[in-house]
Structure 1
Amino acid sequence: MWASDNDFTGQIPDYIGSWSLTELRFQGNSFEGPIPATLSNLAQLTSLRIGDILNGSSSSLAFVNNMTSLSTLVLRNCRISDKLSSIDFSKLTSLNLLDLSFNNITGQVPQTLLNLKLLNFLFLGNNSLSGNLPSSIGSSLKNLDFSYNQLSGTVPSWAKDSQLNLVTNNFVADSSSNSVLPTGWGCLQRNTPCFLGLPHSSSFAVDSGSRRPVSGSDNSFYESDDASLGPASFYITGAQTWGVSNVGRFMDAQNGSYIIYSSRQFLNTLDTELFRNARMSPSSLRYFGIGLENGNYTVTLQFAEFDFPDGQSWKSTGRRVFDIYVQGVRKEQNFDIRKTAGGKSYTAVRKQYIVPVTKNFLEIHLFWAGKGTCCIPTQGYYGPAISALSATPSTFLDLK
C-alpha cells in the first residue's frame, strides 16, 4: 500500500493492522503520532516506510519485533522516543536498509544490529545515542550514518572499509582514528572544533557540485565542491575552512545522483556558471564554515530548479520541497525553488539571512521533511538541492 505525497492529516488508523500487506508506505503526509501498535500484526511486511510525523505523542519501536520479513524499515523523523534494545535485531535477518534518523532514540548501538548479514544501509543520525560503537560489523554493511549523536570513544578499525558519517559526536581524534577517516574530521566533533578562539577565515563561498572554482559577480571566489559524497559521508577542504555532510539514499532510484548538471542558460543571474551544477540530497545536506571570525554574517544561498521543465509536460508537475536551517534556526519551511521563482525553472533564486557566529563555526542545513513529489522526473527523485552558497561578515547595510 502506497499512500505517500497526499498530505493526509490526523493519526494513522489502527485498523490498518488488520489488513494483509507486504508493503506499507506513509511518507509525504502530515500525520500525527503515535505510530499505532497494531501495525505489529503486519507480520508479512517486507517494506515499511513512515516519515515525518508532525506532532502528537511519541512512539515505541516494540511493534517492529513481529515483522521478521522486513527488508526495508524507514521510521524517519517519527517522534520516536525509545532504545534500540527494544528491537530484537537477531530476528530481522532479511533487513537490508534501516533508517531511524531524526528521532529521540537513546542508549547504545547493539552489536546484534551491526552483525546483520544482509544489512547494507544504516541511518541512525540525529538521535541521542551514547557509548562506544561496536567492535565489528557485518560484511555487507558499507554505509553507516551516526552523525549528530552523543557517541564517544575511539573510531573502530572497520571504519576504513566503510562509508561512515560521524559528524557531531564526541569521538577522540587520535592517530588510529586519523588514519581511517577523512582529514580534518575532528573539526566536526562536538567539543573539539578546529580554530576555536583562533579563527583563520572571515568568509567562504562554495559552488556546489562544481569541478572548477568560479569568480562571482559579487566579488566572491566560489571554491569547487565536487566531493564524491554518498549515502553517509562528509568532506572537509584541505585548508579546513569549510566542509559538507550528506546523509540519505535515494529510494527506488536506478542511478541516484548526488550532483546534477545542466548546460542551459539561467535567468535572473549574472553568474550562470554557478548554476550549471547543484548538489542534491535525499535526506539531509549540511555545509559548515570552520574557523570563522565571530560576529554577524550574511549567509547567501543560491538555487535554481532545472529538472522540472516549464510547460505542460507531466515532468513539469514535479515539486521539490525542503526546509532550510541556519545555525539551528529554521529559516524556511516547505521551501520550493521553482515556486519561489514564479513557477519557472532555470531561474536563479537567492535567499539571504543574517546570523551570528559565536564559536567560530557556521552550520547550514537543508532538510527533506517528506514533502513534494518523489518520482518526477525519475523514480526516487526528491530532496533538497543547492547551487551555491557564501558567508561574509555583515555590515550595517546588510540589515533588513
Structure 2
Amino acid sequence: MLSNCNLSGKFPEYLTTKSKLKILDLSFNRLSGPLPENYDGLKGLEKMYLTWNNLTGPIPDWINIRDPRYSIDLSYNNFTLEPKCRETLNLFKSTWGWNYSKPVECLNRCSEERYSMHINCGGPATTIEKTTYEADDDPGGATKYASTRLDWQKSTTGHFWDIDSSTDSYTAQKMSILNMSNSVLYTEASLTPLSLTYYIPCLVNGNYSVKLHFAEIVMRDNKSYYSLGRRVFDVYIQGVLSDGTQIAVKQLSAKSKQGNREFVNEIGMISALQHPNLVRLYGCCIEGKQLLLVYEYMENNSLAHVLFGSIFTKKWDIMEMVDPRLGSAFNKKEVVRMINVALLCTNQSPALRPIMSTVVSMLEGKTDVEELVMVPSTSSDQS
C-alpha cells in the first residue's frame, strides 16, 4: 500500500512478479506511461487501485478479461482506449480526450431529456411532496462504476481497510425512529471512503441548482461523543530528537475504545495533506499499548503572527544571494532565473517541486519560471 507517496515514473515492473500479492494500492501518485502487458505474476491479485495518476496508453487485455469478482480502479488517468464495460472496473474519467457528453458504454441510452434529478442516496425510491426520488440501493464497492439505471450512474472509490471486505460496509442504516415527514431520505445512506460521483448525462445543457441534504450523525444508545472516548488525542508532549529538532508528541488516550481506528485515520489523513501552513507528521511510535504521533513543533502564539508576522514578510533582494566576489562579471537576468529555479527545487513541500524536465526547460529559457510562493522553512525540512 503506497497511496499518496509522491511516486513518479513508470509502473514498477517488478510488481508483476509478486505472485502472493492480493491488494495493490498505488493511488494518488504521479505514475506515468503504460501498464505492463505481462500479468502472469499477478494472478493472485484481488484488488488494484491506480486512481489519480498519469497513466497512458491502451488498457491491457488482461484487465478486460479479469475475473469480475475482483476490483480494479483506473479512474482519473489518461488512457487512450476504452476497455470493455464491467461493474467492478471503475473507469470514471480514465481516458484522455473521451467525449463525456455522449452516452457511456456502461449506461443505457437516455429514456428522455431530463431537466431535474432527485436521488435518495443509499435508499429506496420514494415520493415526498410531489417530488419523486429515484432509488439508489445498489450494493456499493471499492471500485464500483457501472449501473443498471436508465439515466444516471454512480461511481464510488475507496476501500475500508479496517472492515472485513465480505461485509457490506458501503451502506449505513439508521436504527432509531425519526419523527419527520421525509424520514425515508435519512434512514439509509451510501458510504465511501474516497469519492462518490453521480454521473447524469441525460440532463440538458443549462444552469442547475444542486441541493445536498445531510443527516447529522449521532452516537447509539444516547452516549455522548465524549463518553465513547472519541476525543482520543488530548495529551501533548514536547520533546527533542537526537539531532536537536523540537517535536510535539500526541499520546493516544488509554481510555479510548476506538483509538486504533482514529490512530490509523490520523496517520493517513495527515500524510496525505501537504501544505506549508500545516505541521508535518514526522512519524509514529507503537510500543505495547502506547500509540504516539510525532509532529513538527510549533510554539503557542497567535496564528496570524505565525502566518503573517514581520519575520516572514520582510522584503529582501534576491541578488543578496550572489557571491559579491563576482562583481559585475555575470548576466543578472540569467542569475535571477537560476536562483528562482533553485528555490522552486528546494520547496519544503515535495509535491510543489518541479520535475527535472521542467527545471531544464526553465533554465534554458524555453519555459517561464513558475511563481515562487515564499514560505517559512526550518533546518529540519526535508530536502
TM-score in terms of structure 1 length: 0.48
The residue identity in structure 1 corresponding to 2:15 is: F
Q: Name 1:260's counterpart in structure 2.
A: 172
Higher relative contact order (CA 8 A, sep 6+): 1
Q: Name 2:70's counterpart in structure 1.
A: 142
Structure 1 gap ranges (5+)? 1-72, 174-183, 320-367, 373-400
Q: 1:98 to 1:78 in 2, by over 3 A?
A: same
Q: Name 1:251's counterpart in structure 2.
A: 161
Question: Greater strand percent: which structure?
Answer: 1
The residue identity in structure 1 corresponding to 2:22 is: N
Q: Name 1:350's counterpart in structure 2.
A: none
1:165 to 71, 90, 106: 90
Q: 1:131 to 1:202 in 2, by over 3 A?
A: same
Report whether the alignment pairs 1:80 with 2:7.
Answer: yes
- Structure 2: distance between partners of 1:187 and 1:140: 14
Report whether the alignment pairs 1:239 with 2:158.
Answer: no
Shift of 1:139: 6.7
Shift of 1:143: 0.9
Maintained 8 Å contact 1:227/1:235: no
Maintained 8 Å contact 1:155/1:172: no
Question: Greater helix percent: which structure?
Answer: 2
Maintained 8 Å contact 2:56/2:79: yes
Report whether the alignment pairs 1:206 with 2:113.
Answer: no
Shift of 1:98: 1.2
DSSP 3-state at the match of 2:72: strand
- Structure 2: distance between partners of 1:288 and 1:106: 26
The residue identity in structure 1 corresponding to 2:153 is: G
Q: 1:163 to 1:237 in 2, by over 3 A?
A: closer
Q: Name 2:25's counterpart in structure 1.
A: 99
Maintained 8 Å contact 1:232/1:246: yes
- Structure 2: distance between partners of 1:305 and 1:114: 48
Pick the structure with greater CA Rg: 2
DSSP 3-state at the match of 2:210: strand
**After superposition, where does 1:1-400 map in structure 2 within 5 Å?**
73=1, 75-85=2-12, 87-112=13-38, 115-136=41-62, 142-155=70-83, 163-170=88-95, 185-186=104-105, 200-210=113-123, 212-217=124-129, 219-236=130-147, 238-240=149-151, 242-254=152-164, 255-266=167-178, 270-306=181-217, 308-309=219-220, 310-312=222-224, 315=228, 317=230, 370-371=268-269
Shift of 1:306: 4.2
Maintained 8 Å contact 2:17/2:42: no
Shift of 1:229: 2.8
Moved more, 95-104 or 134-143: 134-143
Structure 2 gap ranges (5+)? 233-265, 271-383
Q: How many residues align?
A: 227
Q: Work out the percentage of aligned pairs sharing the same amino acid.
A: 28
Maintained 8 Å contact 2:33/2:57: yes
Q: 1:202 to 1:106 in 2, by over 3 A?
A: same
DSSP 3-state at the match of 1:106: strand
TM-score in terms of structure 2 length: 0.50
Shift of 1:228: 2.2
The residue identity in structure 1 corresponding to 2:212 is: L
Q: 1:318 to 1:106 in 2, by over 3 A?
A: farther
DSSP 3-state at the match of 1:88: helix
The residue identity in structure 1 corresponding to 2:199 is: F
CA-to-aligned-CA distance 1:43-88 (integer Å, 9 cap, x gap)? xxxxxxxxxxxxxxxxxxxxxxxxxxxxxx2x22343333214x52
- Structure 1: distance between partners of 2:193 and 2:116: 28
Q: 1:111 to 1:369 in 2, by over 3 A?
A: farther
The residue identity in structure 2 corresponding to 1:79 is: N
Q: Name 2:331's counterpart in structure 1.
A: none
